[in-house]
Structure 1
Amino acid sequence: MKAKNKRSDGDQLLAMLAALDNPHRLRIVAALAEGGRNYVSQLARELGISRPLLHLHLQKLEDAGLVRSQMELSADGKALNFFDVAPFDFTLTPAAVALAVRSMSDPERT
């Protein structure tokens, strides 16, 4: 599992799985993976969801290290928040889960 943050492997695995445990978030990752980086308003239109709902899901994905954002100014001075998929790769096997559990900050949480 490759992730660029300060979480343990177990905590990172939990965050990634929790972030992907939602059909909207899966669709967001798929749209960004297939279509490339996109700004929030356009992505919301393409997915058929509201911008506030999209922001909520993007925040969860960003917190888990699955997407990243960059604010840019358009030619007319309008602020556009672009998102793209962050590079990630993990193989989910029983051995990987066992290893991740040993590095969790609180292995008894549910």
Structure 2
Amino acid sequence: MTVDESPGDRLLQVLATLANPHRLRVLAALTGERQYVSELARELGVSRPLLQVHLRKLEHAGLVSASMEVSEDGKAMKFYEVVPFEVRLTPQAIAEAATTLSTPVKGTSV
């Protein structure tokens, strides 16, 4: 979470990121093991450019991390892995997060 990001904004970002079946499959494939992009694209049956779009969104939301490595033959390889996280949704957690949203509700004063 960035300094400017409220708990409510963070929750919205994570939920929006997870609200995509492709990104859920990417997270599932990365659970327990890190993989490089080409390997992951083959496993999931998606193109590397499409996979990279989803990985960037997951990384921006703080759900995965990336690292570059150089193989023995000198090829640059970008590896991704899941960052441990937990999202606990309860009515109380949502009510608390809603009070910290940076976007005001229409018709209310700031």
TM-score above 0.5: yes
Q: Does 1:90 align with 2:87?
A: yes
How far does the alpha carbon of each residue in 1:6-59 deviate from its partner, in whole angstroms, 9 at most, with x for none?
32111110110011011000000000014x100000000000000000000001
Deviation of 1:71 after TM superposition, in Å, equals 0.8
- CA gap of 1:10–1:108, structure 2 versus 1, over 3 A, is same
DSSP 3-state at the match of 2:56:
helix
DSSP 3-state at the match of 1:61:
helix
Unaligned runs of 5+ residues in structure 1 are none
Q: Does 1:20 align with 2:18?
A: yes
DSSP 3-state at the match of 2:92:
helix
**2:65 equivalent in structure 1:** 68
Deviation of 1:77 after TM superposition, in Å, equals 1.0
Q: Which amino acid aligns with 1:31?
A: A
- CA gap of 1:55–1:98, structure 2 versus 1, over 3 A, is same
Unaligned runs of 5+ residues in structure 2 are none
Higher Cα Rg, which structure: 2
Deviation of 1:75 after TM superposition, in Å, equals 1.0
**1:58 equivalent in structure 2:** 55
Aligned length: 105
The percent of aligned pairs where both chains have the same amino acid is 57
Q: Could you list the runs of 4 or more consecutive aligned residues of structure 1 that deviate by over 4 angstroms after TM superposition?
A: none
TM-score of the superposed pair, with normalisation by structure 1: 0.89
Rounded Cα–Cα distance in structure 1 between residues aligned with 2:15 and 2:31: 18
How far does the alpha carbon of each residue in 1:58-86 deviate from its partner, in whole angstroms, 9 at most, with x for none?
01111111111111111111111100001
Q: Does 1:77 align with 2:87?
A: no
Rounded Cα–Cα distance in structure 2 between residues aligned with 1:68 and 1:15: 16
Superposed CA RMSD: 1.4
Deviation of 1:101 after TM superposition, in Å, equals 1.0
DSSP 3-state at the match of 1:24:
helix
TM-score of the superposed pair, with normalisation by structure 2: 0.89
DSSP 3-state at the match of 1:90:
coil
